[in-house]
Amino acid sequence: MYAIRRIGTKLRFANNVRQKHTLPDLPYEYSALEPVISREIMSLHHSKHHATYVNNLNAAEEKLAQAQAKAADTNATLSLMSAINFNGGGHVNHSIFWQNLSDIQTVITLAPALKFNGGGHINHTIFWQNLSPKGGKPSDALVQAIEKDFGSMENMKNQLAASSVGVQGSGWGWLGFNKLTKKLVIQTCQNQDPLEATTGLVPLFGIDVWEHAYYLQYKNVRADYVKAIFDVANWQDISSRYEKALK
């Protein structure tokens, strides 16, 4: 039994050793994107909303690690059951089965929290990098791809804006890249669903259309916010993401 406990301890230790997610620093001041996005919105959006996703993601992953560790203990114990006689083994195996079932249910229960908060962390980390007070210009390679797939830069902006404004409730509008077809694609995601994990598209440029991203400044006129955000789009970052996606 000492061997069983020792194996279980090692497995628990291995599952629990992980890096916690942290709130990324912004590459600019909260006021840097004014007048497109106010300092107040940026401060709340980054230090409160994004921070909450990070904290909740860490909490969910901690619970997941605990459930996985218990399930790993079960597997280690079962591998040693040949040393136990049939009747005693039957009792132990069934006891372990019910415990393992509970651990599996815990993992399933945590899935929505992991998707929501993990997606929120991923989406916002990209979003901050997608923005810049200087804006800039897209690379020649990205411009050529946009013109090939949308006809013109203006057409792409109009389509992305229309899709983003049209999101029902909360969500995101994305310019993504399909690695299979080698084409740029406009896609929307509900809530905090991460683009790549849910659609397979590589995220290049995201527009957050949750109300917390614009309501204090633009009130209920989402279209004005979406139109203005192109003025602070970090085309250097977007171009870099496109070039990496091509590899």
The answer to whether residue 18 sits within a structural domain is no
CATH number at residue 227: 3.55.40.20
Q: Quick one: average pLDDT of 175-196?
A: 98
Instruction: Report how many domains make up the chain.
Output: 2
pLDDT-derived band at 219 (thresholds 50, 70, 90) equals very high
To which residue do tokens 């830069």 refer?
Answer: 153
Select the more confidently predicted residue: 46 or 100.
Answer: 46
Residues 64 and 121 in one domain: yes
17: alpha, beta or left? (left if phi > 0; alpha if psi -120 to 50)? beta
Q: Tell me which of 130, 152, 181 is where a domain ends.
A: 130
Q: 91 labelled as ligand-binding?
A: no
Q: 212 labelled as ligand-binding?
A: yes
Q: Please state which of the ranges 9-13, 65-69, 90-94, 115-119 shows the lowest mean pLDDT.
A: 9-13
**Edge-to-edge strand order for the sheet containing 171-178?**
183-190, 171-178, 202-208
The answer to whether residue 155 sits within a structural domain is yes
- Domain range for 213: 140-246
75: alpha, beta or left? (left if phi > 0; alpha if psi -120 to 50)? alpha
Residues 119 and 152 in one domain: no
pTM of the full structure: 0.81
Question: What is the tens place of the pLDDT at every residue in 117-160?
Answer: 999 999 999 999 999 999 899 999 999 999 999 999 999 999 99
Residues 102 and 7 in one domain: yes
Q: Tell me which of 99, 130, 161 is where a domain ends.
A: 130
Residues 8 and 108 in one domain: yes
Q: What is the pLDDT of residue 123?
A: 98
Let me know: does 60 contact 111? Beta carbons within 8 Å: no
The sign one gets for the Cα dihedral 177, 178, 179, 184 is negative
Q: What are phi and psi of 123, to 5 degrees?
A: -60, -45
The answer to whether residue 232 sits within a structural domain is yes
Q: 46 labelled as ligand-binding?
A: no
Q: What is the pLDDT of residue 72?
A: 56
Residues 117 and 148 in one domain: no
Whether the predicted pLDDT of 10 surpasses 90:
no
Question: What is the tens place of the pLDDT at every residue in 17-50?
Answer: 568 999 999 999 999 999 999 999 999 999 999 9
Q: 208 labelled as ligand-binding?
A: yes
